[in-house]
Amino acid sequence: MKPLYFNGRFLTAAPTGVHRVAEELIQATDRLLATQPDAPETIILTPATEAKAASLTRTRVVHTPFLSGIAKNIPWAHFALPWSARKGRLISLCNLGPVFHADAITMIHDAQVYLTPDSYSRGFRLWYRFLLPLIGKTSRRILTVSEFSRQQLVRFGVATADRIDVIHNGCDHVLAHEPDSTFVAASGLKKGRYVLALANTQAHKNIAVLLKAFSDPRLADMTLVLFGAAKREDFERLGMTVPANIHFAGRINDAQLTGLIAGACAFACPSTTEGFGLPPLEAMILGCPAIVAPCGALPEVCGDAALTAAAHDPDEWVDQIRALADDAGFSAQMRARGRTHAAAFTWDRAARKLALLLGLKVDAREEAERPYPPVAAE
């Protein structure tokens, strides 16, 4: 049986949500194949010797440096990588992969460079719009993370519908992290009196609507906690007014994030489009209610287990936050509903679906094909 090669370029880059998906899916696949005596050899190819992948039982990490000094760039991905994987199947899980490989499978998470071009630099847009259709044509199969993304990739001509398969993300990785119970108090926050969201200035993340909502006097007793790289001045530079009740937590580790989620009144995701929408699910499985905009894949992923507020209506966000903050019974109901819903999205299940799509002989079909929770009615 031909070996499976994973594109490990993500191991040398700064962590992102897409990289998290690759890491968790590879680890879950490794766990699954470790139980199968006839499973193929699995190898992660990386361009740098310092790259490491944690929690692997049978998958090897192999370093394949190329053209010293630019090893992490395009030449490695399009020449060294496919050559090193020439005797097997090459799986790339972070949007891009080589176009010169006869048996490549590539996961393209979304069509955001088409849907929301203002979220990206001109160079980034041009590169992705040039490369994605090539990958769509040359890859044996395209994977994506939601039916919504599948439809958009078809719409923009990246690949035809019959060549795209959907593997939903898991969210249960957050359960492995012990919450930092001291981080909330150390940050000057009060449990249940703050809302959590990403500190991200990309246009489609739409944090502006939350800034407007928290400038409303009705939320004067609440705090919006933004975690991630973006700072106050980054939002102000874009012309946004940042009210006084905004707390920037900065970059935080997994234990600090789970601690924040555990103490939050809600997690807010006002995105105007998402290819999947992993952060709301991560919050829900930890028992934090989610409020999302009914856009992109968010209705598909969150169903009726999350509250919704219109993407550009600050008043609706205020109303939903107050509903959770002021009614303990309703908040408890949404916490329980979110936990139950999010529990269906596991990485082991995603790995079983991947194994089926790869044609591997594993005991996977019943779990992989069991329906996900239904989408909320229109």
Question: What HEC string does 89-152 produce?
Answer: EEEECCCCCCCCCCCEEEECCCCHHHHCHHHCCHHHHHHHHHHHHHHHHHCCEEEECCHHHHHH
Q: Name the average pLDDT for the chain.
A: 92
CA pair distance 334, 340, nearest whole angstrom? 10
Q: Which residue spans within 194-256 are E strands per DSSP? A: 194-198, 223-227, 246-250
CB atoms within 10 A of CB 357: 15
Q: Quick: pLDDT tens for 128-172.
A: 999 999 999 999 999 999 999 999 999 999 999 999 999 999 999
259, containing H or E segment: helix 254-263
Cα–Cα distance list, 48 to 44, 76, 86, 96, 249 (Å): 12, 10, 19, 18, 31
**The predicted structure's pLDDT at residue 67:** 60
- Buried b / exposed e along 192-228 (16+ C-beta atoms within 10 A): eebbbbbbbbebbbbbbbbbbbbbbeebeebbbbbbb
CA pair distance 378, 375, nearest whole angstrom? 9
Residue 341: which pLDDT band, with cuts at 50, 70 and 90? very high
Residue 54: which pLDDT band, with cuts at 50, 70 and 90? confident
**The predicted structure's pLDDT at residue 75:** 85
Q: Quick: pLDDT tens for 195-231.
A: 999 999 999 999 999 999 999 999 999 999 999 999 9
Asked if 149 and 276 count as a contact pair (C-beta separation under 8 A), the reply is: yes
Q: Is the pLDDT assigned to residue 37 strictly greater than 90?
A: no
**The predicted structure's pLDDT at residue 366:** 54
**The predicted structure's pLDDT at residue 198:** 96
More confident residue, 198 or 372: 198
**The predicted structure's pLDDT at residue 377:** 36
Q: Quick: pLDDT tens for 56-78.
A: 999 999 988 776 555 457 788 88
Q: Which residues contact 133 (CB under 8 A, 6 or more apart)?
A: 157, 158
CA pair distance 148, 331, nearest whole angstrom? 29
Q: Which amino acid is at 160?
A: T
Asked if 111 and 278 count as a contact pair (C-beta separation under 8 A), the reply is: no
- 3-state secondary structure at position 66: coil
Cα radius of gyration rounded to whole Å, the chain = 21
Q: Select from 48, 43, 76, 77 the least CA-distant residue to 61.
A: 43
Task: Tokens for 154, please give them.
Answer: 């078809």
